Amino acid sequence: MSCKEFVYTDDVILSWLLEDLGRRNPAESTVNFLRALIQSARAEISAEGVEIPDEITDIKTAMLVENYAAFNYRKRGATTPETAMPRNLRYRLNNRVFGDTEE
């Protein structure tokens, strides 16, 4: 019996992001903006040295993308002290970059 691997698509990540941000029934323009943030999060995480596959099958990677996108959403227009990356997110990125898979 083979078990098909679940793929965490951008739509799944978007649904988590909407929940994380407390956004119910957002306008289409907001959804488009959040989709762009997810793509941007993927690119920024990759620039940090963490490979993000096109098809994410690992929950930790999917949540990392969602958390990074949520961070980018929250920091827009914030004052300087509020724009620092949360320690837990920085810790998770560093663990991925330096090969420690324990999070």
pLDDT in tens, 17-43: 999 999 999 999 999 999 999 999 999
Mean pLDDT, the chain, whole residue set: 90
CA distance 73 to 70: 5
Q: Are 65 and 78 a contacting pair, CB within 8 Å? A: no
Confidence of residue 2 (pLDDT cuts 50, 70, 90): low
What dihedral angle (degrees, nearest 10) is formed by the CA atoms of 70, 73, 77, 78? -10
Helix (H) or strand (E) holding 56: none
List pLDDT tens digits, range 61-86.
Answer: 999 999 999 999 998 877 666 678 88
Identify the pLDDT of residue 103: 46
The structure tokens listed for 50 are 């963490």
Residue 58 has pLDDT above 90, yes or no: yes
For residues 91 and 93, give the distance between their C-alpha atoms in angstroms, rounded to a whole number: 5
